[in-house]
Structure 1
Amino acid sequence: MVQNHVVWSNTIPHGPNPPLTLTLPHSASPFLTLPHPSSLFLTLPHSASPFLTLPHPSSPFLTLPHPSSPFLTLPHSSSPFLTLPHPSSPFLTLPHPSSLCLTLPRPSSLCLTLPHSASPFLTLPHPSSLCLTLPHPSSPFLTLPHPSSPFLTLPHPASLVLTLPHSSSLCLTLPHPSSLFLTLPHSSSPCLTLPHSASPFLTLPHPSSLCLTLPHPSSLFLTLPHPSSLFLTLPHSSSPFLTLPHLSSPFLTLPHPSSLFLTLPHPSSPFLTLPHSSSPFLTLPHPSSLFLTLPHPASPFLTLPHSSSPFLTLPHSSSPFLTLPHSSSPFLTLPHPSSPCLTLPHPSSPFLTLPHSSSPCLTLPHPSSPFLTLPHPASPFLTLPYD
């Protein structure tokens, strides 16, 4: 046991020594440097502030009691195993390549940022793998250096496996290219910003509200439980909007009851593209609501390639709304041979509203067979200019 009044060296000598076990008393401020190779087993009491630097290769095993504020810097090829009690505030920096396994008790507050930001907390260089498990109720806050958006940052290439318990709030920003595997339990509200070439795989339980911002190009694979609400927002100058690869399942599946909200900022060029032999682009169960809002000036393009299934299928008691602002130019282009089928069940109220100075264009190549089926009683409002 190191006493408070004792001054001790902060450097452990080199040599084939057995694993080091340190116990620091109350209000201690350890500054430790371990040589190569080292194994540290450190236990810090109440109100301790450790500053640890471990060389290559080290295997730190750190246990911090209540309330502790660890500041850890782990060098190349380190494998930290950290257990933080209640309440704790870990600050970690991991070099390349590192593997972090972190478990936070209840309640805990985890703040992760990159080294270039104001308050570096967790740095995972290339290639890194973060496995994070937060109990209830936890609030993870992650920040990246360049965007300065709070919340987790993974370098290129990185893989994040994150599990959040009940009543958690998560905001993530992933660099290019990243693979996000996110599972959020009941009453979670994720807000995700995905950069270039990101591939999010999201599973949200009941009830959930998802807010996504997808830049260009992005591939979204999303499954929402019952009841769910999907909010998709494309940033400035994003293109294409949504793209399905070859022989893919339905891009978006919303259970009952669900609401889909699509908002495209200004200026936007959304492209909805289905590849060869794909399932219907959008399937909404009963009852569902689809809302698409395009700003001014917007240029929506809906493109169905060869041998595509019906573009949009809306079940019973669905209310599709397509609203285009002033000076919009909607285009629906179907390749050869195409069989577009738009089917609205009973009762339905399809509304296609085009403002002043709009030029709706429906172009069907030869041979094409357009089909529009409206059940009874239906109230279609379609306005097409002279061809």
Structure 2
Amino acid sequence: MKIADVEAVALAVPMKNEIAAPISMPRAGEVAGIVFREYRSVIVRIRTDNGIEGVGECMTRLSGTALRDIVRYVAPLLIGKDPRDVEYLWDLLWSVMMNRGHQKGFYLEAMAGIDTALWDIWGKSAGVPVWRLLGGRTNPKLWAYASSLRLRDIGILREEIDAHKAAGFNAMKVKIGRDPMDWRREIRTVEQIGDHAGDGVTLMADANCGYGHDRKTALQVGRALEALGLYWFEEPLAPDDIDGYAFLREHLGIRVAAGEADFNRFSFARFFRRDAIDIVQHDAARAGGITEARKIADMASAFRVLYAPHTGSSSNIIMTASLHLATYAPNFLIYEYMRSDWNREEPNPLRRELCELPIKSFEDGCLEMEDRPGLGVVLNEEVIERYRLP
């Protein structure tokens, strides 16, 4: 079996109306119109000479056409190769830019889409799910949390909490940090959320690096969250502030989580060696694909760090790749099940309509995967054509 064709497709769904930044970010008033002007995805489709097609997705946070063109540029390297040689092909792609200044960013996201499609082919050719190739079904039941409660009017938040509970979730994540200078007001809202959710619901907080300007503010917020009984404090600081994360972990009782904005095992190793985080949250669609994501999770287990994969506001392909990793990983903690979109009035069709998640059941806050070959997803071609970029 050999690779015969590599196709990359950039998709975009423009927002009809401009929205304010739904998460914490610097200079939000100026940059939100660029960052949140559309839902985006880049799909990678790899076909073999015996008619098997594998699909993957690149985490697409900015220009989808840039990612698409990177995949197209490196595609000749893959033609004629055996798609099951995932380690060799990952290293081959890594070798292109290892010493050329692109060990993170767009290039690793492009690699991620390619790598995920290769695993899909391998699973389909063997007639087994990707999680079986990774090492088997370590976790038949996956604890999942509803992501995310964005700080809005408390009446709207109560409705969302009730909807999550009615759907079967007993864990939820709250977005904080949009106003770092008025964090006490946000903490009061988090307290109201906890009161309404009740003792049977586990809550986590995600600051999206909102306190990167000041570690001491992050420490104060962490202590306030700890007093409210939240399970973890996610991304309080800038993604590269290893010293800051180590400082917070040393001084806080609440678990410190991070990793969605990082790209490879060499970078994560620095965090693990410093004992800087309790929970690692890398995203397979950003951190080089399933091949690299597995290595990061395995390395984390050696440092007693738990794995809670990030899934992001992209399509269900990304969410599915993380489902397979979660089913395999011995140090898996909880799965991020996306339940909200950037724009409450304009749902993301790339997540809701492009493909269905291969979920067999969802009971008591836990989900179980279908036993399908490969990733186990089937793409909606009409959605692809509707949102394809030229």
Q: TM-score range by the shorter chain?
A: under 0.3
Structure number with the higher strand fraction is 1
From the CA coordinates, give the structure whose radius of gyration is larger. 1
Compare the two structures and name the one with the higher helix fraction.
2
Q: TM-score, normalised by structure 2?
A: 0.22
* Higher normalized contact order (CA 8 Å, seq sep 6+, divided by chain length): 2
